[in-house]
Amino acid sequence: GRHGWGGVVFGGMSGVWFVHPEGYLRELKCPAEFVKKVAVDAADNVLAIAKIDNVASLYRFANDKWDKVSPGGVPSDVAADVKDTNIIAAVVQRQTGSELKLSTNKGTTWTSESPGINKFQFQCIQFDPKQTRKLIIGSNKGVWVGEIK
């Protein structure tokens, strides 16, 4: 991979795992029962959506510890900007549908974004791997690509 971890990153029961290209495995024990989604930022900090007591929360692993970084609501997807380690995007599920949340300070605070498709059901998000601040969003109505200001 492009990260210093050097290999495949995946989540599972109670942790995030890294498979190094040389074959060894490293586990980052997560304070949760199940890790649903994993993203890694440009500085190799890990973001994980994990469940505790069947409630999903967003966690960030940096400086050898996990911190909860709540975007509000129930997160269902997360993405980290490939060049700017401050920028995190998350899809949050609400009773009325889904919402795109953005943090420009590593998850300390979040804003609700309206990319022009806020009435659609967000399915997945990903930052463009070649361009900072360019977000790709998949919804039930198609794909949206746009710049984060």
pLDDT tens digits, 48-58: 877 777 778 88
For the chain, give the mean pLDDT: 78
Q: What is the DSSP string of the chain?
A: --STT-SEEEEEEEEEEEE-TTS-EEEEEEEEEEEEEEEE-TT--EEEEEEETTEEEEEEEETTEEEE---SSEEEEEEE-SS-TT-EEEEEEETTEEEEEEESSTTSS-EEE--S-TTS-EEEEEE-TTSTTEEEEEETTEEEEEE--
Task: Give the rounded percent of residues in the chain with a pLDDT score beyond 70.
Answer: 80
* Rounded Cα gap, residues 126 and 28, in angstroms: 23
Instruction: Pick the more confident residue, 31 or 144.
Output: 144
Asked whether the whole model's pTM tops 0.85, one would answer no
